Amino acid sequence: MKILFVCLGNICRSPTAEGVFRALAGREAPQLALSADSAGTADYHVGAPPDRRTQQAALRRGYDLSALRARQLERADFGRFDLLLAMDESNLADLRSLAPAGAQARLALLLQYAPDAGRLDVPDPYYGTARDFDLVVELVERGARGLLKALAAQSSRRVSAGGVAADGE
Ligand code: 4NP
């Protein structure tokens, strides 16, 4: 399963989602074959590392995003990834309008996987305060955990549909 997290600039929200999801998947669901990447719908920050405030907020929760670099979404991404997860409704609308006809990738909002969060958008923190950047990490963690749960459930349904017993016999 290949997942692409998408926001506007790819320097705040979607790199946070990529880093958090990778860390949680490696720690909590190493049995699942998952890969994650992120991209922005805009080209403003191509090649740049995550925003300093984003990196600081992520580090406060134990995630190092320093190796990531921004890139712009490409139409080929709709064929390369199984699931494209937008950070807000505006990003999702952009994805819908950019998707090539017949693209198979599923498009959704990250927070659709976190119904308890009580909201669907991860708000753009770019013109906000440190608290807004902390909120991004908190919401992204909720979404990433919910997503992992859904993927683990899907994977175990597949295993049982294939007739393989839970104990491997
Ligand atoms: P992101 O945040 O979409 O979460 O990466 C933003 C980054 C840059 C800008 C806007 C949002 N900008 O206008 O440059």
* pLDDT higher than 80, residue 15: yes
How many Cβ atoms are within 10 Å of 152's Cβ, its own excluded? 15
Cβ of residue 139 lying under 6 Å from some atom of ligand 1: no
Mean pLDDT (whole number) for 153-168: 67
Q: What's the fold here for domain 2-168?
A: Rossmann fold (3.40.50)
Placement of tokens 């295993």 in the chain: 159
Looking from the CA of residue 14, the nearest atom of ligand 1 is 4
Residue 119 sits at the vertex; the CA angle it makes with 147 and 50, to the nearest 5 degrees, is 65
Best CA proximity match to 61, nearest among 16, 30, 28: 16
124 assigned to active site: yes
Selecting among 7, 37, 134, 142, the annotated active-site residue is 7
Residue 128, ligand 1, Cβ within 6 A: no
Is the model's pLDDT at 166 over the cut of 60?
no
13 catalytically annotated: yes
Q: Is residue 15 in contact with ligand 1, taking CB distance under 6 Å?
A: no
Phi/psi at 106 (5° precision)? -85, 140
Q: Compute how many other C-beta atoms are within 10 angstroms of the C-beta atom of residue 33.
A: 11
Q: Where do the domains of the chain lie? A: 2-168
DSSP lists the bridge partners of residue 106 as 83
pLDDT at 169: 33
Q: Report the distance separating Cα 18 and Cα 49, nearest Å.
A: 13
pLDDT in tens, 34-88: 999 999 999 999 999 999 999 999 999 999 999 999 999 999 999 999 999 999 9
| Gap from CA of 8 to ligand 1 centroid (Å) | 5
pLDDT tens digits for 90-120?
Answer: 999 999 999 999 999 999 999 999 999 999 9
Task: Name which residue sits closest to atom 3 of ligand 1, judged by CA.
Answer: 8
Q: Is 8 in the pocket of ligand 1 (CB under 6 A)?
A: yes
pLDDT of 13 higher than 60? yes
Confidence of residue 162 (pLDDT cuts 50, 70, 90): low
Q: How is residue 114 annotated by DSSP?
A: -
Task: Please give the model's pTM, rounded to 2 decimal places.
Answer: 0.94
Q: Is the CB of 9 under 6 A from ligand 1?
A: yes
Q: How confident is the model at residue 158 (pLDDT cuts 50, 70, 90)?
A: confident
CA 125 to ligand 1: nearest atom: 2
